[in-house]
Amino acid sequence: MLRVQYFEDASQPQETYLFLVDMTLGGMRVNLESELKLESLVTFQLPLSRFAANLPSILEVRCRVCWSRCLLGGTWVYGLEFQDLDQEVESAILRLLDHFDEHGGRRTFRLEYPMAVEAVVEERPVSLSLRDLSSTGLGFRFRGGVSVGQHLTVMLPLGWCHLETDALVVWAREAEPGVCDFGCSFADLDEDEAKEVRSFILTQCQKV
């Protein structure tokens, strides 16, 4: 369930709750509390940052309303066709789909978990401000020379153990002058180590 903004052409933005039923590169099926006109063009702003660190905070997609069906309780299910996806939006959708299995279940869970983490960048020890963590990677904020494609050695304090692993920087964006947010994927995490990370995430989530 997502709280989204949407607007039809030449109309003012509105807010509603959207349940994403399924999605492909061609479009998506959604449940909405709002009624949309068939064949109308609607732009949705979908908040995605909670799903994974490598997704944009807001994904804007323009859709054609292909079909609709009214459900009991006054909600609607819609079939929406994406219009004129650019390469950046298409790439974000593919990354989003990669976080779900064929049954619609989440493959990974991301924990927003700010803490200081020790790392080694080109044989130089540094301290990173960890922002989130999953069993496939992590996000951090850093002031200094780190670039996309670079490998880091990261020491993760998981409570009952310290896990040392290699992480590959896959994206970066400026947060403020001289400071960037980075997203990394784990390069050599084996299944047992991934289970340790997942156990740590679940333990922390239960404390919230």
pTM across the whole model: 0.50
- pLDDT > 50? residue 106: no
Q: Domain ranges in the chain?
A: 2-97, 111-207
pLDDT at residue 98, as a whole number: 72
Cβ-count burial of 28 within 10 angstroms (0-12 exposed, 13-18 middle, 19+ buried)?
buried
Strand, coil or helix: 133: strand
E strand or H helix at 163: strand 162-176
Instruction: Report phi then psi at 195, rounded to 5.
Output: -65, -35
Tell me the one-letter amino acid at 152.
Answer: L
139-173 pLDDT, tens per residue? 888 887 788 889 999 998 887 778 899 998 888 88
* CB-CB neighbours of 46 under 10 Å: 24
Determine the CATH number of domain 111-207: 2.40.10.220
| Highest mean pLDDT of the ranges 8-17, 62-71, 183-192 | 62-71
Q: Do domains 2-97 and 111-207 have the same CATH topology?
A: yes
- Tokens (6 digits) for 42: 């609607």
83-101 pLDDT, tens per residue? 988 888 888 888 777 766 5
User: Average pLDDT of the chain?
Assistant: 81
Place of tokens 């909600």: 75
Determine the CATH number of domain 2-97: 2.40.10.220
Q: Which tops the pLDDT comparison, 207 or 6? A: 6
Q: Name 69's bridge partners.
A: 77
How far apart CA 49 and CA 51 sit, in angstroms, is: 5
Contacts of 102 (CB under 8 A, 6+ apart): none
Number of residues that this document lists for the chain = 208
How do 41-47 and 58-70 pair as beta strands? antiparallel
Handedness of CA 161, 167, 170, 174 (dihedral sign): positive
